[in-house]
Structure 1
């Protein structure tokens, strides 16, 4: 499918942001079974044909407009890595997160194969402009489907902008107010923002909760009438060493409110908003705070609250360079958030012919401030957690948050369960 379509106001804002800040999201999956670089290149080409934005570039058209186009875009890169000393999957993931995309040249996705002989790891990096968490899972699924059945060629899937799929009025003046509220917190919401500047090299750490641990957490969340996301946000707020509420950037899936829902489309169908999360008093239980937070999250995830996160950009007709400059200056002043938490459940299959998908980690690099970016993915009855940051305490923050959850789940654990 040849693509040439104008970026929507929301997409243009994300693209302009990526000119000032990192805008890379990635997944790293482990697959039991074998493949070859040649077979994988064929699969990548087939998936690029099915999801055209992966093979697109961004063409400027004056200061207020830009276009996706697939014309003149080079082949999608595939890097083959052998797991020699120091060349771990985590290291490959860190390298891919730090390699910026040239949006003017494209393509907006690249692949790395870590060949382990009787198994392999696949690392896929994307520009955030064309992928959200659900989209990344679709790409992995379609690559593995093609490896298992290379003769199949499913039809191409269009990726219309989220702006045009939102129900309700096209735009409302109140949308700009709600957008501003979602992107900024009052000054008194928490401690001073983190100053910009890396303290250490960018690192990505991962954790996996096995089926027993995951079941124990899910069962306790249900029993406490809350969600994993609310419990996780509460645990991170309590794990911070700084006083006051935590500024948490919450990722929101837009697909559930779009009409028609772009279930098979690979594109940007997600947004985020800021939420102050108080740690609660030391003697209070985590679950009371998590229940209260669940209600606040539920309110913020209503369609009337999510729509302005996209439609509000129609009321900000700023030229590309101005958006980029504003974001660059804002980032220099310090992080807008203390931690970003993205969480989604993927229901893609685990088996593809002789191939078996066994792990699924996500990661992101979208800020220069050092604020930890945490991604939680549910797959195959397990939870996969990662944190990417230049903050030397990022891994410690995650460990303390997991300890908070362990302590909270412990009273209701079954014999032998471990979180």
Structure 2
């Protein structure tokens, strides 16, 4: 293997996992590029046993112990070399909504991407009820990955002797049609515009650094405030919604998106012409081999398209229109099963 091949494969990078692909790197320096999931725990939980479980899942999922390494060509790589221990911050629980405040506090603290790790944990603790918050840099995972991670954490919490099988994080692009991004309808910038931007950058390049990111992060969160809108359905209400969506041939995402657009237009009015775009992510794992679902990584596609709520149609007709657009994107982007690559385990 020559020097160029070594660089492309990352074999000369200590602890190398793999190179970041474009969507992951696009999220890396985003001041709003974090994702969080919280799980409520009924009953007492041992912080010592929880830390042991966190250590187990870190060995199972390499990106939990990753940092970003920039090579001489300024390509970004995930690496596990000399990454600090997993962080668990424990705070006394004072209310049922305290986890809102803790997530807001986490948003105030930027990740040190070149040091790592790119994930943090918060235990809002009481002997009766606790919340475990997982807060991660979006480039290493999506919301589904975090939900699956919480499952894995409690499996290892309950089964300390369980065998740990390392699951390497696959590339989403390995499962997408050649020359396609996550969504064909999201190509909102033409090739000419992109080429022009690339030309300008090559004439006056600037490589973003951790110090740059910290300053942008501070400025962003000085002006912005993170908030959570909680929509909670009771179990019987959830069952009714699922049954309705199935009967109408749409997903819950399509139905709730249509409902939120209708509510927005009813309260505020139509979207401005230059902002009439919605973006909806979709989970690639559901359409790929079973073992991919266990991988911890950023593994989503997205549809972005102009849409408005048609007042002449009912909610379900609007939801069906949204569903058709997303379904077409998904089917057009994902490689057929015969071309799937296998997930490496060691």
TM-score category of the 2 structures, normalised to the smaller one = 0.7 to 0.9
Tell me, which stretches of 5 or more residues in structure 1 are unaligned?
A: 187-195, 308-419
Question: CA 1:68 to 1:9, structure 2 compared with 1: closer, same or farther past 3 Å?
Answer: same
CA drift of 1:179 comes to 5.9
- What TM-score results when the alignment is normalised by the length of structure 1? 0.62
Q: Deviations over 1:114-169 (max 9, x none)?
A: 11212211001111111122211221011111221223232221112222x3265x
- Structure-1 residue corresponding to 2:239: 215
Aligned residue number for residue 149 of structure 1: 159
Instruction: Determine which of 49, 64, 79 is the counterpart of 2:59.
Output: 49
Residue 198 of structure 1, CA deviation: 8.0
Change in 2 beyond 3 A, CA 1:264/1:222: closer
Aligned residue for 2:293, secondary structure, equals: coil
Confirm or deny that 1:132 pairs with 2:145: no
Aligned to 2:329: 300
Match of 1:68 in 2: 78
Report the Cα offset of residue 306 of structure 1. Answer: 5.2
Q: How does 1:4-403 map to 2 (within 5 A)?
A: 4-10=16-22, 13-84=23-94, 88-163=98-173, 165-166=174-175, 171-172=178-179, 175=180, 181-184=185-188, 201-240=225-264, 241-244=268-271, 246-258=276-288, 262-281=292-311, 284-302=313-331, 304-305=332-333
1:235, CA displacement in angstroms?
1.0
* CA shift in 2, pair 1:269/1:87, >3 Å: closer
State the SS of the aligned residue for 1:157.
coil
Q: Deviations over 1:212-265 (max 9, x none)?
A: 111121222223332222111111211112324842111022224556851221
Q: 1:180, 1:299 → 2: CA distance?
A: 9
Which runs of no fewer than 5 residues in structure 2 stay unpaired?
1-13, 191-219, 336-346
Change (3 A) 1:114 1:214: same
Greater strand share, structure number: 1
Equivalenced residues, count = 287
Q: 2: distance between equivalents of 1:21 and 1:6?
A: 23
Q: Which gives a bigger RCO, structure 1 or 2 (Cα 8 Å, sep 6+)?
A: 1
- Structure with higher helix content: 2
| TM-score between the two structures when normalised by the length of structure 2 | 0.74
Q: Provide the rounded CA distance (Å) in 1 between the counterparts of 2:128 and 2:158.
A: 15
- Closer/same/farther in 2, CA of residues 298 and 50 from structure 1, 3 Å limit: same
Query: CA separation of 1:238/1:199 partners in 2, compared to 1, >3 Å: closer, same or farther?
Result: farther
Q: CA deviation at 1:44?
A: 0.8
* In structure 2, C-alpha distance between the alignment counterparts of 1:39 and 1:210, rounded to whole Å: 32
Q: 1:263 to 1:220 in 2, by over 3 A?
A: closer
Match of 1:396 in 2: none
